[in-house]
Amino acid sequence: MATIKQIAEAVGVSSAAVSRVLNYDEGISVSAETRKAIFEIAERLGYKKKVIYPKIDHVVLLYWVDSIDELEAVYYESIRDEVKRQAKRTKVQLSVVTKAEGLEAIPDETQAFLAIGWFNRRELQRLYKICQKGVFIDTSPDEKLFDAVRPNLDSFVTQMVDYFVEKGYRSIGFIGGYDRSIDSEKPVMDVREWSFRQSTDYYGVLNEEHIFIADEYSVAAGYNTAKEMIRLDKIPSALCVASDTLAVGVLQALNEAGVQIPEQTAVFSINDISVSRYVSRPLTTFHIDIAMLCETAVDLLRTRVLEGGKITRTVFINGLPVFRKSC
């Protein structure tokens, strides 16, 4: 990584001048050309300004994840571990409270929290009474009460459908799962299914017979749902799958049935978990940048603690498709 001294030598000014310019000191007497050169060379050399983070104590990480499919668990565990790394990097002192321990395990001195997992309405209201400064990661259960950072799932599915339509597909199906109502805890339509319906309807290719909803996000559920699709002889020429966990099971069922991928049915998914590159066929999927997701969440929390404010924020993190051999 470049140093201030190296930038100073490249521009032909003192290290002190470079430091003051990079810190936006308007009192320093340098020309506009020199100021511009300093920033350009700093960028070209890969200079990164050292940030001094004020320490923040008494922050809780609420890990509210039920026992779920092993591959699905890897996703949530990777978020948990990355949150810990980002907190350590920015001097946020974290303690962890799990769902098994319950909200009563939150220490009295807690001033803010980060949350991973699913909470019902009663838990959210109780949590708000305990601590009003919180950031949810991967979900936004109540945007009126708390900040949130989540992947832009709506956009991912829209882009999947766009891709298939542009490639000439007209028979496009969907395999997904349910969300849960925070009020009744009953199954409700997930945003990915909603987005699929909106996008395919826009293109005039919405077909109810090609929409299949599993009872959970697991490899077994993906496998069983795809087997039912095959049994009913409702196999589309392209499939949007709501998560890689489901998609692994879907691929297995299609392979067992002798369906050629992608020649007979192309498959596009979301998450880019590590196993997605090793299945047959290697899975085309949207990559979720977990590091960016967690970094943004910790930044939001720091802002909330240090600056306050009454308006909550929900940030959607976009992603890029990783094209492999399934479509």
Reported confidence tier of residue 29, pLDDT bands at 50, 70, 90: confident
Q: What is the pLDDT of residue 36?
A: 85
Q: What is the mean pLDDT of residues 166-190?
A: 96
Per-residue model confidence as pLDDT tens digits over 36-59: 898 889 888 888 777 778 899 999
CA 236 to chain centre: 28
Q: Which of 30-34, 121-125, 238-242, 309-313 has the lowest mean pLDDT?
A: 30-34
Strand duo 314-317 + 211-213: pairing: unpaired
Please report how many Cα atoms fall inside a 13 Å half-sphere around the Cα of residue 181, on the Cβ side.
6
For 11, the token pair is 């521009």
User: Per residue in 254-268, is it b (16+ CB within 10 Å) or e — as a string?
Assistant: beeeebebbeebbbb
DSSP assigned state of 53:
P
Q: What is the mean pLDDT of residues 241-261?
A: 97
3-state helix, strand, coil in the chain (%, to 5): 45, 20, 35
Q: Helix, strand, or coil here: 37?
A: helix
Dist. CA 94–CA 115, nearest whole Å: 12
Q: What is the pLDDT of residue 32?
A: 80
Q: Which residues contact 315 (CB under 8 A, 6 or more apart)?
A: 147, 148, 149, 150, 296, 300
Q: Helix, strand, or coil here: 96?
A: strand
Q: What is the pLDDT of residue 1?
A: 66
Q: In which residue are the tokens 């095959």 written? A: 230
Q: What is the mean pLDDT of residues 166-179?
A: 97
Reported confidence tier of residue 142, pLDDT bands at 50, 70, 90: very high
Q: What is the pLDDT of residue 126?
A: 96
Please provide the average confidence, as pLDDT, over all residues in the chain.
Answer: 94
Dist. CA 195–CA 206, nearest whole Å: 11
Q: What is the pLDDT of residue 49?
A: 75
Q: Flag whether pLDDT at 178 surpasses 90.
A: yes
Q: Which residues contact 41 (CB under 8 A, 6 or more apart)?
A: 7, 10, 11
Per-residue model confidence as pLDDT tens digits over 81-108: 999 999 999 999 999 999 999 999 999 9
pTM of the entire predicted model: 0.84
Q: What is the pLDDT of residue 261?
A: 98
What are 165's strand-pairing partners?
none
For 263, the token pair is 């020649």
Q: Flag whether pLDDT at 9 surpasses 80.
A: yes
Q: What is the pLDDT of residue 270?
A: 98
Q: Flag whether pLDDT at 313 surpasses 90.
A: yes
Q: Flag whether pLDDT at 321 surpasses 80.
A: yes
Q: Helix, strand, or coil here: 47?
A: coil
Contact in structure between 166 and 172 (CB atoms under 8 Å): no
Q: What is the mean pLDDT of residues 55-68?
A: 91
Q: What is the pLDDT of residue 85?
A: 94
Q: What is the pLDDT of residue 310?
A: 86
Q: What is the pLDDT of residue 67?
A: 65
User: Structural domains in the chain?
Assistant: 4-44 (no CATH), 56-151+290-318 (3.40.50.2300), 153-287 (3.40.50.2300)
Cα→Cα distances 92→50, 62, 111, 149, 297, Å: 17, 15, 11, 18, 12
Q: What is the pLDDT of residue 134?
A: 97
